[in-house]
Amino acid sequence: MPNLHDLERRINSVKSTMQITRTMEMVAAAKIRKASERVDATTPYSNSMTEMLVNVAENAGSSDNALLVEHDEEKSVLYIAVVSDRGLAGGFNSNVLRHVEKAVYAARSEGVTAHVVACGKKAISYFEFRKIDLDLVFRDLSADPTLDEALQIATRAIEGYTAGEYDKVVLVYNHAKNAAEQQLRIETVLPIDANMFAEAPEAAEEGAEQQLSGDVIYEPDAEAVLDSLLPAYVKTTIYHALVDSAAAEQAARRSAMKSATDNANDMIETLTRFYNRVRQGAITTEINEIVGGAAALEE
């Protein structure tokens, strides 16, 4: 039977852990608001961007822009893994990392070279430990993604794709579906899927009123506008993913910390009950001994 002192110590330790998890839960809850505000702020730009691209793509006809052209063979794939700098967010990091790792091994077994860009310290340590080389790393930015970061990734991806270094660029991140749920998203950034533009108008119904009709003047011309829109579109997609992932991270941490706090509460309850039983047991034993001793004396 464990002694009372040990039990007491365990209860205290669980209590202090609970204090930490509860605080983290509250901090994450506060950060969710900020992060989702940022997602909302980036939405007008990416919506307008997509809308413009749809309009231009229709008018530019068949473009042979390097970013739209699919490479004949898939020999080299670039994965962009967007995770967080910190742990304690439940399955947030491992979902993305495991997916990318699997994809990398699958690609290798088919003789395809896989390159990885890691955003977030967790990705860096995970891949370094598994001896997967990283093309580009970003740290200390997961909670506060910047445009510069998105720009660097996009530049690298576009240059690599145009030069034939990569045949496909895939973005893997967590989408903040709502405050409690994250969704793993795997998006092919390059080549840009031209079919997507054909479907987009129906998806963006609210933007329908702004749909340009009739002849549109392009300055300098439709192809030139398209050529400059495409890289910007890639950049926007990546930036949006980073911001989205930052919001998902806070949401994931909040729910992870909430269940940790709940578990700690349950544990304290169980331990306290056990503690009381042990204490009562000790008292009973003591009384038994006294009564037994007195009875022995009387005889």
Partner 1 sequence: MANLVCDIVTPAEQQFSEECYMVAVPGVDGHMGFMPGHAPLMSTLADGEVRVFSDANTLAHRFACQGGYVQVTGEKVIVLTDRALAAEEIDAAEVAAKISELQAAFDGAAEDSVERATLEYDLKWYRTLEAVAAG
Binding residues for partner 1, rule: CB under 8 A, are 38, 41-42, 44-46, 48-49, 51-52, 55-56, 147-148, 150-152, 155, 210, 212-220, 224-225, 228-229, 232, 235-236, 239
Q: How far is the CB of 3 from partner 1 (least distance, A)?
A: 60
Which residue's CB is nearer to partner 1, number 42 or number 162? 42
Q: How far is the CB of 205 from partner 1 (least distance, A)?
A: 17
Paired residues of 251 in beta bridges = none
Q: How far is the CB of 214 from partner 1 (least distance, A)?
A: 7
Buried b or exposed e, range 152-177, using 16+ CB within 10 angstroms: bbbebbbebbeeebbbbbbbbbbbbe
Q: How far is the CB of 211 from partner 1 (least distance, A)?
A: 9
Which residue's CB is nearer to partner 1, number 41 or number 287? 41
Which residue's CB is nearer to partner 1, number 34 or number 279? 34
Q: How far is the CB of 130 from partner 1 (least distance, A)?
A: 26
H-assigned helices in 163-211? 194-203
Which residue's CB is nearer to partner 1, number 143 or number 267? 143
Angstrom distance (rounded) from CA 172 to CA 111:
21
CA dist list (Å): 290 to 279, 282, 286, 299: 17, 12, 6, 15
Can you say how many angstroms the Cα of residue 251 is from the centroid of all Cα atoms in its chain?
10
Which residue's CB is nearer to partner 1, number 180 or number 216? 216
Angstrom distance (rounded) from CA 87 to CA 158:
31
